[in-house]
């Protein structure tokens, strides 16, 4: 790709909107110049839209996209249908997917993410082995397929190979988990190294460290990984998502999950605690003060009946958060932000959820959290929205959309966050390339064909 210049109606920076902006990028998709109050020049790629930072999807289980909408038949109202019954359906899917099908599903998912404005994904990846539970010759075979899917879809990926060792607190793994399991820390280290090698084949891929959950790995091994493994990588872990998980943890360790982490692991800003739904007030402030981040997945958490994270108290203590789509029952980042905010408003009876002393504009605050903390989950510490030397990745909102077209600049971000739908996303630019335009991914036809073929082979829908 040669040097390219985009001309946009506006571009959101941390300090506010720039108008009539020319953004020039080099052949690697990195910004070489940002100039505002400019007219379009001959050869510019002109977009009549407002550019906001490309969204960061900080938590994904790609294969679960194949079961979106399939766990909603509740035949017996007398028995609880909750996370644990949903998990059995997930196990069945995980046992049936081969590497080629995994790549087709992930490519479909990632192209849909791109269509909705995501430009990066953190893939919390735990389907490592073949259907018999044996390692592939390439330990990162499935991870390599996920990276290939991101490359085809045109988005960046942070592959987080997950250490999954146990079937519950003090329990051996069950047979339905056989594709997930690394029995020892050494086994996990080999998987981590193989995954890092796989990332080297795609410029926009990198890696992270991941523990499935407190129930999924022996506590002593969690400590060992946290204290001795690469501290320059983001560290992801599911924690305190379900009440039963907390009860089982107290029985096994005498501590609640986050309570145990705060006492035994030196949490800092490289940690990303996924869900963290059920926290005490002390745990909430403890996590915030540690500088650890939380990753919230509102559509999935709502779908599974997890509960509502204590966001207001967490933010009041200085806590930072990002969003993810987890099981992918929802893929619209603006919808994730709205569900998150409205859940807090419903339990607090107040409307100023997305608020800090520095930022009183709800829309701008939501975009800042989703961008800056989301990037940290991808091992990207850049806090400036668009910067010379950084990749040009943007979600471009149609300036002609009536609510957008009639909004003053001070209302523009909140108009997008609280009223936009996918039809208002004019384009997604990822690492300098237009990967989706006017609701269509650039490889839509082939991606759809491959996905439909894979699902027919699996036969689960």
Question: Is the pTM value of this prediction over 0.85?
Answer: yes
What's the pLDDT score for residue 75? 66
Residue with tokens 């091992």: 379
Which residues of the chain register pLDDT less than 50?
A: none
What's the pLDDT score for residue 112? 98
What's the pLDDT score for residue 92? 85
What's the pLDDT score for residue 355? 79
Active site residues: 275, 326
**Cα(206)–Cα(210) distance, rounded to whole angstroms?**
13
Q: According to DSSP H, which parts of 122-218 are helical?
A: 141-153, 185-199
What's the pLDDT score for residue 91? 87
Main-chain dihedrals φ then ψ at residue 395, nearest 5 degrees = -100, 120
Q: How far is CA 116 from CA 51, 229, 404, 423, in A?
A: 13, 35, 17, 9
Yes or no: say if 88 and 311 are a contact pair by the CB < 8 Å rule: no
Interstrand relation of 156-163 and 205-207 (parallel, antiparallel or unpaired): parallel
Residue 242 structure tokens? 């379900």
Q: Which DSSP string corresponds to 253-280?
A: HSS-HHHHHHHHS---TTEEEEE--S--
The answer for residues whose C-beta is within 8 angstroms of residue 324's C-beta and 6 or more apart is 57, 58, 59, 60, 122, 274, 295, 296, 297, 336
DSSP code of residue 54: P
Domains and CATH numbers, the chain: 4-53+385-445 (2.30.40.10), 55-377 (3.20.20.140)
């Amino acid at each position: 790709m040669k040097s390219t210049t985009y001309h946009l109606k506006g571009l959101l920076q941390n300090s506010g909107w720039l108008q009539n902006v020319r953004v020039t990028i080099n052949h690697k998709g990195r910004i070489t110049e940002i100039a505002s109050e400019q007219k379009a020049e001959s050869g510019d790629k002109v977009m009549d839209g407002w550019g906001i930072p490309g969204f960061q999807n900080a938590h994904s289980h790609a294969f679960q996209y194949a079961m979106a909408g399939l766990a909603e038949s509740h035949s017996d109202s007398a028995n609880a249908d909750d996370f644990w019954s949903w998990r059995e359906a997930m196990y069945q899917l995980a046992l049936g997917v081969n590497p080629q099908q995994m790549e087709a599903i992930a490519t479909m998912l990632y192209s849909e993410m791109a269509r909705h404005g995501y430009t990066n994904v953190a893939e919390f990846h735990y389907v490592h082995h073949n259907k018999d539970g044996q390692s592939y010759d390439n330990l990162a075979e499935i991870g390599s397929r996920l990276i290939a899917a991101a490359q085809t879809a045109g988005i960046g990926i942070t592959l987080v190979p997950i250490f999954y060792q146990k079937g519950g607190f003090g329990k051996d793994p069950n047979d339905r988990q056989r594709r997930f399991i690394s029995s020892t820390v050494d086994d996990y280290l080999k998987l981590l190294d193989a995954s890092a090698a796989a990332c080297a084949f795609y410029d926009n891929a990198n890696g992270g460290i991941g523990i499935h959950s407190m129930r999924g790995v022996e506590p002593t091994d969690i400590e060992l990984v946290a204290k001795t493994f690469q501290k320059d990588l983001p560290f992801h872990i599911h924690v305190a998502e379900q009440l039963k998980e907390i009860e089982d943890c107290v029985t096994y360790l005498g501590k609640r999950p986050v309570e145990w982490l705060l006492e035994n692991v030196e949490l800092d800003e490289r940690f990303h605690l996924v869900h963290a739904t059920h926290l005490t007030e002390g745990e909430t402030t403890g996590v915030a003060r540690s500088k650890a981040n939380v990753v919230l997945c509102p559509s999935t958490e709502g779908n599974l009946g997890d509960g509502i994270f204590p966001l207001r108290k967490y933010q009041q203590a200085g806590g930072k958060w990002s969003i993810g789509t987890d099981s992918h029952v929802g893929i619209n980042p603006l919808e994730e932000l709205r569900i998150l905010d409205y859940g807090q408003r419903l339990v607090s009876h107040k409307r100023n959820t997305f608020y800090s002393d520095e930022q009183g504009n709800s829309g701008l605050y939501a975009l800042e959290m989703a961008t800056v903390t989301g990037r940290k989950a991808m091992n990207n510490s850049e806090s400036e929205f668009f910067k010379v030397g950084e990749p040009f990745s943007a979600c471009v909102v149609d300036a002609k959309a009536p609510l957008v077209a009639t909004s003053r600049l001070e209302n523009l971000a909140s108009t997008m966050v609280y009223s936009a739908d996918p039809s208002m996303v004019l384009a997604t630019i990822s690492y300098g390339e237009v990967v989706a335009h006017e609701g269509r991914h650039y490889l839509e036809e082939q991606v759809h064909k491959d996905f439909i073929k894979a699902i027919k082979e699996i036969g689960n829908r």
